[in-house]
Amino acid sequence: MATMTMVKALNSGLRRILEENEKALIMGEDVGLLGGVFRVTDALQKDFGSERVIDTPLAESGIIGTAIGLAMRGYRPICEIQFDGFVYPAFDQLVSQLAKFRNRSGGLISLPVVVRIPFGGGIGAVEHHSESPESYFVHTAGLKVVTCSNPNDAHWMIQQAAAGDDPVVFLEPKRRYQAKGEVDTERAALGLHQAAVVRPGSTATLIAYGPTVDVALASAEAGVEEGHDLEVIDLRSLSPIDWEPLRASLRKTGRAVVVHEAPRTLGMGAEIAASLSEECFYSLEAPVLRVAGYDVPYPASRLEDDYLPNLDRVLDAVDRSLEH
């Protein structure tokens, strides 16, 4: 076991990918000489060369389009989109080409491309630097979508994503980049698309992913003082979702609250609430509730604390659930 920040854990995972597969390469804006704006790729170009850690032009569509061509030729590109709000110029390449090509070729051609996207708010950034675009990609058949919430998952999930033959959108919660945690460098505890019960409980289930897992855990700890024993589930994979731990938890608690930073309307919480209501109706003691970002453009940094889900909003939802 080693203690690392999430940045260091991702860097370590990427280093292992490059060491173990000569066809793997990293590409994106400032990933080489600078080591990335968050330093996730620090020193990788120095150690592996500029032909495997490639500084690209500032052109997100070109980054993904080039990666698609490389994947067709047998390479395994790992692309970095510097900030979440800059992924949209590449949207057509992602949803029309990367997601569709395996189906279009009848399964003959796979595109093992990983697209790393720092996402979410909480860092006091300017406009276009604090987006939560996950629902766009989850809605797109042909893409896998995953997100880590702690250094151990970051270290292993990036390796698992790069090892598969499907395109993966890999979301990294930027406000958790400097969070430290224990990393088991010998083996992964879970598969890429498995959810994790990170805190067992019996009163209600908090379902979160990426940056809101920490919010859910803090809410569960604070809830103890109010007599709540809250279970917390980290989804980890948004497409596909690992439904069985969620169903098992609802059979136990009868109540659920979904927490995410993205706007509420048609967010992940909507799909989770609808599916659990269909599949676990007779186990539910109350409607599945959502605590999410508001349906407005992400606000200026001085207002983001009012926009983001927090402990008080989560516990208020728990209280409303328990009123039923």
Taking the CA atoms of the chain, what radius of gyration do you get in angstroms?
A: 19
End-to-end CA distance of the chain: 44
Query: 307 in the Ramachandran plot: left (φ > 0), alpha (ψ -120 to 50) or beta?
Result: alpha
- Give all strands (DSSP E) within the chain, no chain letters: 2-5, 24-28, 53-55, 76-80, 114-119, 144-147, 168-173, 180-183, 196-199, 204-208, 230-234, 237-239, 256-263, 289-293
Tokens 């224990």, located at residue:
182
> CA-to-CA distance for 14 and 30, rounded, in angstroms?
16
Q: Are 151 and 5 in contact (CB under 8 A)?
A: yes
Tokens 């994947």, located at residue:
71
Q: Are 132 and 260 in contact (CB under 8 A)?
A: yes
> CA-to-CA distance for 251 and 237, rounded, in angstroms?
21
**Residue 324 is a catalytic residue:** no
Task: List the catalytic residue out of 128, 129, 139, 155.
Answer: 129
The tokens of 277 are what?
């209501």
Residue 144's CB is within 10 A of a number of other CB atoms, namely 21
Report the interhelical angle of 243-253 vs 268-279 (nearest 10°). Answer: 60
Give the amino acid at 77: P
- As annotated, the active-site residues are 129
